[in-house]
Structure 1
């Protein structure tokens, strides 16, 4: 799970709601997804709510740490 919005750099923790992804896992915050009419600018796919990851799974399946925002 990517840790930030690819468009604005907002933090998107794996255990919280508010992130949107396309089928290729491009990741955006809710504000940016809305501004883009829920269409991924990278691939043209539909942006949908990203599921959250329970904290108990972080040790065995850690969320990503590489930030994608290039600012």
Structure 2
């Protein structure tokens, strides 16, 4: 599971579950404006930054749904 960090690592702008944010393969997290400023290259590891997937539910709620489907078929 991806670690969805709550803020940009450069400017500390909040990056909520449904906000547009960018991550590298090491899960460094950046807002859209900081990603544009760095040319979509992670300033920490020099890897490429890609759009982070959006989450519509908190992780524990999603895991509960998955577990229920697997155990009870619903």
For Structure 1 versus Structure 2, the TM-score category normalised by the shorter chain is: 0.7 to 0.9
The structure with more radius of gyration:
2
| Structure having greater relative contact order (Cα 8 Å, sep ≥ 6) | 1
Give the alignment's TM-score, normalised by structure 1: 0.76
| Contact persistence 1:22–1:48 (CA under 8 A) | yes
Larger helix percent: 2
User: Where do 4+ consecutive residues of structure 1 move more than 2 Å?
Assistant: none
RMSD of the alignment, in Å?
1.7
Note the residue ranges of structure 1 that are not aligned, 5 or more in a row: 63-71
